[in-house]
Amino acid sequence: MKEWDSFDKITDAKGMWLIDSKGNKLLDAVGSMWCNVWGHSNQQLVKTIQNQSKKLQHSSMFNLTNEPAEKLAEQLVRISPGMHRVFYSDNGSSAMEISIKLALQYWKNIGNKKKTKIATLENGYHGDTFGAMSVGYVPEFFGKFKEQLFSTIQFTVPNKYRMPEKYSISDYESFCLDKIEKRFSQKENIAAFVMESGAQVAGGVIIYPKGFQKKISQLCKKYDILFVLDEIATGFGRLGSMLQYEEQNSIPDIVSYGKMLTGGYLTMAATLANKKIYDSFLGEFNEWKHLFHGHTYTGNPIAAAVAHENLKMYKKNNLIKKIQKTSKIFENFYEEISEIDIVGDIRHKGMLMGIELVKDKSRKTPINPEKSINKIFFEEGKKNGIYLRTLGNIVMLVPPLAISESELDLILKKTILTIKSAQTKVA
Ligand SMILES: Cc1ncc(COP(=O)(O)O)c(C=O)c1O
């Protein structure tokens, strides 16, 4: 905190650019924390917010409902194969808390008292609240709260760059899956397997080998374990498809969306469940099968209206096709980025790239400077007119999804300039 004695104030933003109070322009390579879809100040979304705010700003979802929330729920169920109902919240962490509570309570509702444990992948991230920290335990982030977190069963994720040398990636994937199956077959206490869909993002952009997620979903079915996915950072086009679970052929029992759901304009998240889960919550009042969970701003009509419009725009503008084409620009820079001395690995899928920085390429030793890498890259990026944010020793590129080819090209050029000028400061 001491490093950040002052912050620049962002006062305006247009398209892919953030503008600070001194008039400096920064290219938004972070997508304003991975959620921006159309760029800033999109007129259609702004108009939707204005129109809805004239009619109904907020009304509770306790005993009542509202039109935008209903329309959005229908739309979400329509685009989400296998899903039946929607539970709203106002941020991704809460959506994950709801996922976890739904999964645990499902077993109680159907009278199974044994299934009380959550299984997950090491290095996953699901948010900063206590349940989300327990399930997505990143030691560097959450070590200070370890004693307060509930225990989970963690499995190794096949990380190609950092796997033991004796394996090929497919052998290592089989090794990881065998461990999962062995544990599943021995224990009857696992309620659900929770994982990020398609890739671990905050954990360092670890893109799963093709088929890995599908195989976990199959193991869950085989051993009667609920399969719970987190599409908050990876769904809605970030990895190049509308829903990663569709691309990965791995339909979950419960799935959460957030971030890009409103185009990045207002705060809203959603947890969807299939009919089996939903039906288990139906009962007489005195059976106490209902879910005790609700937030003040659950189903906020302005957020729901802008999310609904955002999803309509995805379809109208054929956004997923556009992302698939634009994201090829990343590939033009693979070689130039990998040749930089402190770059150990680059990992890319769709509109997400992680550049892993190392002290020593052959030994893959992570760099560990005195000042935070994030601070150094933020300052160097600013000099080059780009907003960059690193996570640990990974430079993250997470641009607004509708970015043009020329603007993405500029992001990559400015990123390369920044890594080169920052390398003497971090190495
Ligand atoms: C995969 C994943 N799940 C959950 C969250 C938490 O979302 P929020 O920051 O909206 O609480 C994040 C945030 O980065 C995320 O990346």
CA of 92 to the centre of ligand 1 (A): 5
Alpha-carbon gap, residue 418 to 333, rounded angstroms: 14
Please report the atom of ligand 1 found closest to the CA of residue 94: 11
pLDDT digits 0-9 by tens, 290-323: 999 999 999 999 999 999 999 999 999 999 999 9
312 and 332 belong to one structural domain: no
- Report if residue 144 sits inside a domain: yes
In angstroms, the CA 14 to CA 246 distance is: 33
Domain boundary among 316, 338, 372: 316
Closest alpha carbon to 176 in 219, 140, 136, 147: 219
Give the pLDDT score at 420: 97
**Among candidates 263, 264, 398, which has minimal Cα distance to 389?**
398
Ligand 1, atom 13, lies closest to the CA of: 127
Q: Tell me whether residue 124 is in a domain.
A: yes
Label residue 427 by pLDDT band (50, 70, 90): confident
For residues 171-197, one letter each, b for 16 or more C-beta atoms within 10 angstroms of the residue's C-beta and e for the rest, the string is: ebbbebbeebbeebeeeeebbbbbbbb
**Cα(334) to centroid(ligand 1), Å:** 27
Residue nearest to atom 10 of ligand 1 (CA): 92
Give the chain's domain count: 2
* The residue type at 398: V
Per-residue pLDDT at 370: 76
- Longest CA–CA separation in the chain, Å: 67
Residues 6+ apart with CB under 8 A from 318: none
> What's the pLDDT score for residue 426?
87
**Ligand 1 atom index nearest CA of 127:** 6
- Angle, helices 67-79 vs 301-316, to 10°: value is 40
Q: Could you report the per-residue pLDDT of 249-281, keeping only the tens digit for each?
A: 999 999 999 999 999 999 999 999 999 999 999
**Residue to mutate (ligand 1; options 33, 35, 90, 93; most atoms within 8 A of CB):** 93
Does 73 reside within a domain?
yes
Question: Ligand 1, from 94, 125, 195: best to mutate by most atoms within 8 Å of Cβ?
Answer: 125
Q: Whole-angstrom Cα distance, residue 97 to residue 163?
A: 31
Q: Do residues 295 and 262 share a domain?
A: yes
Domain boundary among 316, 332, 366: 316
Token pair recorded at residue 138: 């990143």
Percent of the chain predicted with pLDDT > 70: 100
Q: Measured between alpha carbons, how far is 68 from 166 in angstroms, rounded to an integer?
A: 54
Closest ligand 1 atom to 231 CA: 1
Query: Which of these, 118, 142, 230, 215, lies nearest to 174 by C-alpha position?
Result: 215
Ligand 1 centre distance from Cα of residue 339 (Å):
32
Does 337 lie in the same domain as 292?
no
The protein residue whose alpha carbon is closest to atom 3 in ligand 1 is 126
The residue to mutate among 195, 208, 259, having the most atoms of ligand 1 within 8 angstroms of its beta carbon, is 259
Q: Which residue's CA lies nearest to atom 5 of ligand 1?
A: 127
Residues 179 and 286 in one domain: yes
Please indicate, yes or no, whether residues 299 and 363 belong to a single structural domain of this protein: no
Q: Is the pTM of this model over 0.95?
A: yes
Tokens 């952009």 appear where? Answer: 205
In sequence order, what DSSP letters do the residues of 269-291 get, joined into one string?
EEEEE-HHHHHHT---GGG--S-
Give pLDDT tens digits for 336-348: 999 999 999 999 9
The residues lining ligand 1, judged by C-beta closer than 6 Å to any ligand atom, are: 91-93, 96, 125-127, 196, 201-202, 230, 232-233, 258
Distance (Å, whole) CA 300 – CA 292? 19
19-41 confidence digits (pLDDT tens): 999 999 999 999 999 999 999 99
Distance from Cα 94 to the centre of ligand 1, integer Å: 9
The CA 234 to ligand 1 mean position distance, Å, reads: 10
Look up the CATH number of the domain holding residue 259. 3.40.640.10
Q: Which of 259, 270, 277, 279 is nearest to 298 (CA)?
A: 270
User: 266 and 164, same structural domain?
Assistant: yes
Q: Are residues 157 and 29 in the same domain?
A: no
Residue nearest to atom 9 of ligand 1 (CA): 92
Q: Are residues 399 and 252 in the same domain?
A: no
pLDDT in tens, 194-209: 999 999 999 999 999 9
312 and 185 housed in the same domain: yes
Distance of CA 287 from the midpoint of ligand 1 (Å): 34
Same domain, residue pair 286 and 368: no
Nearest residue CA, atom 16 of ligand 1? 233
Of 268, 292, 316, which marks where a domain is finished? 316
Under the banding of pLDDT at 50, 70 and 90, the label for residue 96 is very high
Give the tens place of pLDDT for each residue, 110-164: 999 999 999 999 999 999 999 999 999 888 889 999 999 999 999 999 999 999 9
Q: Read off the pLDDT of residues 362-416 as tens digits, 9 standing for 90 and up.
A: 999 988 877 789 999 999 999 999 999 999 999 999 999 999 999 999 999 999 9
Nearest CA to ligand 1 atom 2: 126
Protein residue whose Cα sits closest to atom 7 of ligand 1 = 92
Q: How far apart are the CA of 427 and the centre of ligand 1, in A?
A: 30
Distance 182 CA to ligand 1 centre (A): 30
Lowest-confidence pick of 100-104, 178-182, 423-427: 423-427
Query: SS3 for 234?
Result: coil
Supply the mean pLDDT for the chain.
97
For 375, the 3-state DSSP assignment is helix
Range of the domain at 388: 10-34+321-426
Query: Quick one: 240 exposed, middle or buried, by C-beta within 10 A (0-12, 13-18, 19+)?
Result: buried
What CATH number does the domain containing 394 carry?
3.90.1150.10
Strands 352-360 and 343-349 come out as antiparallel
